[in-house]
Amino acid sequence: MFPKKRMRRLRKKESLRNLLSETKLDLSDLIYPIFVEKRSKPLEIDMMEGIKRYPIEDAVQEAKEAEELGIPAIILFGVPEEKDKKGTYAWKKNGVIQQTAREISKNTSLTVITDVCLCEYTSHGHCGVLKNKQVQNDETLKLLKKTAISHAEAGADIVAPSGMMDGMVKTIREGLDKEGYENTSIMSYSAKYASNFYGPFREAAESAPEFGDRKRYQMNPKQKREAIIENRLDIKEGADILMVKPAMPYLDIINETSQKFEEPLAAYQVSGEYSMLKQAINNNLVSEKIILESLISIKRAGADFIITYFAKKLAQKSTTPP
């Protein structure tokens, strides 16, 4: 009467379940984002409980702690002391990201990744130079190149252009190589959607656009095939690593990208995903175990590694697999 094949045999013990797990997730798969600002003390981010904007010295300490916990990499986002129409402070030699990257590179063995975009640095909050309230793609490319070179000079191992400007990877690659930084990698935000999940980040990085939105340069959430085209173009231009952002609402895009391309694939569990899960946990709607379950879903979809604000928490506290 009963089938010879009983699937429950393989689930009877936690050690057995772990042994047979198809999807593996550990700290070596995680990247920890750090927000930095030239200020006297850390600033709590209201919309992102547990996340802060750090002074440079504190950001270095935060990076050291992440390394001690076993996290292999951090990604830096900066809030400058001044903003202007072109985002000039994005490429200053002693800008907030440049100083922080320099100090973290000196004091840790972490892989240092820097976000390369202008939205945090422009007075209008858009990701490039404006003309008639429209971002000028080709003029912006020159500034992204200058910014990426300044990050490489400061010790960044990987630069991560996130503005979704056409040709940004090619322009940055050529600029890095010309200046002798041919070993600096590019992790492109190759499939970055115009998502509603970015809200808390815009508070954290003070990067909300002064007017309009970013739908003219970030991807339409209704598009799937277009993500494959974007990834293919960035590979052709010289991207070493691809990225899908956000992560959980776009698991199909992560899976499709991982199936079609051999390049390493990052996924960004963004601020809105983080804040929603935190709120659900705080209100006892779900167990804290949902953090690990959410990350496993991203890894299972095909991501090689994940940028997540939960990285340090997971490193500090062991969470039972779901």
Q: Which residues are catalytic?
A: 192, 245
User: Dihedral, CA atoms, 209, 213, 216, 218, nearest 10 degrees?
Assistant: 80
Q: Which amino acid is at 187?
A: M
**Would you say the C-alpha torsion 180, 184, 185, 190 has a positive or negative sign?**
negative
Residue 306 is inside which H or E element, if any? strand 305-308
Residue 173 among known ligand-binding residues = no
- Backbone region of residue 50 per phi and psi (left: phi > 0; alpha: psi in -120 to 50; beta: other values): left
Residue 119 annotated in ligand binding: yes
Look up residue 6 and give its amino acid: R
* Residue 301 three-state SS: helix
| Total residue length of the chain | 322
Strands 130-131 and 134-135: antiparallel
11 belongs to an annotated ligand binding site: no
Q: Which residues contact 166 (CB under 8 A, 6 or more apart)?
A: 137
* Residue 188 among known ligand-binding residues: no
Residue in 275, 141, 263 with CA at minimum distance from that of residue 200: 275
* Radius of gyration (C-alpha) of the chain in whole angstroms: 20
Residue 187's φ and ψ, nearest 5 degrees, are: -105, 105
Q: Is 309 annotated among the ligand-binding residues?
A: yes
Q: Give the pair of three-digit tokens for residue 142.
A: 């020159």
Is 117 annotated to bind a ligand? Reply is yes
| 81 assigned ligand-binding residue | no
Q: Is 271 annotated as a binding residue?
A: yes
In a 3-state reduction of DSSP, which class is residue 5?
A: coil
For the CA atoms of 174, 180, 183, 186, the dihedral, rounded to the nearest 10 degrees, stands at: -30
CA–CA separation, 89 and 15 (whole Å)? 52
| Positions at the binding site for 5-aminolevulinate | 202, 214, 271, 309
| Positions at the binding site for Zn(2+) | 117, 119, 127
| Positions at the binding site for Mg(2+) | 230
| Positions at the binding site | 117, 119, 127, 202, 214, 230, 271, 309
